[in-house]
Each structure stands twice: as C-alpha cells, then as structure tokens.
Amino acid sequence: MSDNQVSSLDLRQPLVKLELLVAFLISIILHVTSARHGLETSAWLRPAHFEDHPFHKRGFGAFRLFSVFSPCRRQRPSPFHKIPAPVHDSSPISFRDKILVWLLWMTQTLNTSTPLLALKLMCCFQNWILQQHQDLGELVNALSLNCKVPDDELKPLVEKSIKHFEEYHGRRALMAQHYAPSFFYPTWCTSFETAFFWIGGCRPSLAFRLVYSVCGTELSGQLSEILRGERKGNLADISAHQMEMINTLHCKTVREEDMMSTRMEEIADEPLAMLATSAGRVGEWSKELVRAMDAHSLSLASILADADKLRISTLKELMAILTPFQGVDLLISIKKLHLSMHEWGKTKELQLRKPAAP
C-alpha cells in the first residue's frame, strides 16, 4: 500500500473499516506480547517490529497499513515519543493514552473527516494536559532549589513553557478552521472549566489577578523574613517600578479584552438571527443557512486565534517585567490553577453521576 493510497482512504468503505479494526486488534496483541517478553512498552510501534513480523512478510493488509504509518516510511517521528510523562511519575505511558495518540496520528495521516474531528480535538487537549504536567514538574524542581539557580538557567525554562503555549494555540488555530464552535464549549473540558471561559479560554487578565494574589500571599507568609532584610526573589519581592508597569499592562489588556468582547457580540448578531426569523418553519435547512453557518464558524475561528494571541502576548509582556525567578513563580501558579480546575471539574462530575444514597 503506497503513501498515496493511504492518503486517499475512504473510511466509509467496509473493507477499510475492517482493515483498521484488524490493525487495532493486532496492536493490542503486539502490546501484550511485548509486555510478556519484557520489551519496552513504547517499542511495539517501532518499524522494525513490522518489517520483521511474519504477517508483514506475507503481505497482511493491516501490517501494510502499519508499515506506512511507521516513522521510516512516513518520515514522521513516532507520536508516542512526544507524550510527556506526568509529574513525579516515572511509570510508562498507559496503553490507553498510546491508543488515543495513535488515533490522533492516524487522523493526521489520513484526510481528516468529520467523525474523527472530535477525537482529534480531544487527543490534542489530552496531550496538552500531559505537557502542562511535565512543564510544571520542571518549574517546581527549579524553584525548589530556592535562589541557587541563576537567572540564565531559569530563563530558558520560562521561554520553553511559553513556547509550548504558542505551539498549542497554533494547533488550536489550525483545527478551529474545521469547526470553531467546538472550542467555545469543548466536550473535552468539564462544565466547571467552561464556566470560566472567555472566547475559548481563560481571560488574559487572569494572569494579573494571580500576580496580585500570589504576591499578597507570599508577602504575608514572608513578612518576618522581609523585616529582617531577607529576600527570596519571588513575587513577594516585586518592586514599586515593576508594580507600576504591571498595572499599566493590566489596564491595556482589559481594554483589549473589552474590544474583543464587543466583537464577539457582533459575531453573535450576524445573519443567523435573520435567517431564523425568515425561515418558513423552525429548523428549516437551506443553502443560505449552510453558507451563513460556515461564515459564522470562520468568524469564530478568527476571533479565537486573536484571543489566543492576546493571551500569549500578555504573558510574554508580563514575563518581560518580572525577573526569571518571579516568572517561574507565576507560571507555577498559572499551571497549578489550570490543572487543578480540570481535576476539580472531573471529580465534581463523577460525584454528580453517583446515585444518591437512599
């Protein structure tokens, strides 16, 4: 099976569905076999295993499909080497996570179709959560060394975290071109998380509220040390000049948020309302409606990309004001808040699903 044939696969064909199912089942067998023989859990997708396998030599279709997906044939790295491990957890990546990311990789290799879009979005978010955990672990480890780590070693950590933010927002912008409304009430987030959303994410001004909050908390906790003239270099040690610059940036960010909120209201008032009132019956489908919905989705994708740019630019400008040590301190608070809200929301939804005690 050539690369061109793979790129033109029609997932609606029963034979293709069967071949993908067989490939999936074989991947499970390979995983179990590698575990029994003590192989590394990430080794079961390496191309050598497919080229040497007797099923592959006999031309078995599923293995032909797998060999095309292998890095040496597609010139792509295995997706599993990109999955960061959770913080403080040296255990191998779970088989479920491997399958999810393999499916994501498969949807990127094949032509993206609507039924696979939701899975692709979910995998992107789950990979981002894992990346957040890894970044948080590195930042916490650096800060735990107190002031012993020089600024020239902390600065790359800050830049690395911001780069990961940019990469994630870049992937969001590309996928939003397919169906942007998914990002405004994402099914891969909990309802608790989405209750705090502003145009597909947190408000950029949230970073300033965290600065004020963490600064006050650390200041009260280190008051006796500060009175003795001791300094830790964290957010409690923000100077008056830094605070003035932060307040100026805060006001500028709030003005830009207000402008985007107004723009969002204008998008909501676009022709969809007129089409709904002029329709002969409720929910009537028409070509004009399809064009209007597509235009509405593209408008949402545009404002989502602009909101993400504002989130990134605000964070970059804020980091330029803070010292590297203070920047690490703030990034830890941002990541802890994001990850904690995700976990709190999942816990709350599990509690709501439980039947009430008689």
> What is the predicted pLDDT for the residue at 5?
39
Residues 107, 230 within the same domain: no
**DSSP codes, 211-274:** HHHHHHHHHHHTHHHHHTT----SGGG--HHHHHHHHHHHHHHHHHHHHHHHHHHHHHTSTHHH
Residues 229, 328 within the same domain: yes
Residues 338, 221 within the same domain: yes
Q: Has residue 133 been placed in a domain?
A: no
Q: How confident is the model at residue 63 (pLDDT cuts 50, 70, 90)?
A: very low
> What is the predicted pLDDT for the residue at 99?
52
344 vs 88, higher pLDDT = 344
User: Taking 70 as the threshold, does the pLDDT of residue 51 lie above it?
Assistant: no
> What is the predicted pLDDT for the residue at 286?
76
Residues 51, 198 within the same domain: no
Residues 284, 202 within the same domain: yes
Residues 94, 11 within the same domain: yes
Cβ-Cβ contacts under 8 Å for 97 (sequence gap 6 or more): 83, 126, 130
Residues 79, 194 within the same domain: no
Q: How confident is the model at residue 338 (pLDDT cuts 50, 70, 90)?
A: very high
Q: How confident is the model at residue 269 (pLDDT cuts 50, 70, 90)?
A: low
> What is the predicted pLDDT for the residue at 137?
93
Residue type at position 119:
L
Residues 97, 228 within the same domain: no
202 vs 282, higher pLDDT = 202
Tokens at 123, concatenated = 């995998």
d(CA 155, CA 152): 5
> What is the predicted pLDDT for the residue at 182?
86
Q: Has residue 313 been placed in a domain?
A: yes
- What are the tens digits of pLDDT across the range 104-159? 444 444 334 444 667 778 888 889 999 999 999 999 998 886 556 778 888 999 99
User: Taking 60 as the threshold, does the pLDDT of residue 56 lie above it?
Assistant: no
Average pLDDT, the chain: 72
Residues 55, 201 within the same domain: no
Residues 208, 357 within the same domain: yes
**Which of 97, 122, 147 marks a domain boundary?**
122
Helices 240-268, 287-321: axis angle to 10 degrees equals 180
Q: Has residue 166 been placed in a domain?
A: no
Provide the domain count of the chain: 2
User: Taking 80 as the threshold, does the pLDDT of residue 103 lie above it?
Assistant: no
Residues 205, 350 within the same domain: yes
Q: Has residue 164 been placed in a domain?
A: no
Tokens at 189, concatenated = 């987030």
Tokens at 279, concatenated = 């329709």
SS3 of 79, please?
A: helix
Q: Has residue 344 been placed in a domain?
A: yes
**Which of 122, 155, 172 marks a domain boundary?**
122
pTM above 0.75, yes or no: no
Q: Has residue 349 been placed in a domain?
A: yes
81 vs 260, higher pLDDT = 260
**Which of 85, 106, 122 marks a domain boundary?**
122
44 vs 188, higher pLDDT = 188
> What is the predicted pLDDT for the residue at 233?
66
Print the domain residue range for 60. Answer: 1-122
Residues 114, 209 within the same domain: no
